[in-house]
Structure 1
Amino acid sequence: MTRGCWSACHGGQPSTAHYLTSQGADINRTGHDGLTPLDIALNSEDAELDDWLTAAGAHGAGEIPPG
């Protein structure tokens, strides 16, 4: 589910990301490229996704403690 949320953010599918997050997906999980969904939104300049993720408590990869 979390991988699906990350993929939805990467693929520009915010409604899918919203749904998966409502079902428990971790919005702070980094993907294979080391990016979180928020990093993806910022890199793609997707303001809607960025705003939603920020409001939902998402963090960039640099803000997440290792471990």
Structure 2
Amino acid sequence: EAGQNSDDYLQEQAEEARPDVLEILEGILQEEAEQGVQLQVQETAKLEGRFRDAASTSGKASHQIQEGALL
């Protein structure tokens, strides 16, 4: 019977601790999700910058070709 009581006690302790563990895990997942979004935003900004650079370079080259054709 003493073993049964300690098992019951451990079960109660585990059930009481479970919400804390879930809250901690939810917090970690939330932080990781927010960091993931921030990384995606940064990557998107980098790609947009590269695209603008490429478009600018392309525009300059096109302009130079047109000038060359006029000569």
TM-score by length of 1: 0.19
Q: Find the structure with the greater CA-based Rg.
A: 2
TM-score by length of 2: 0.18
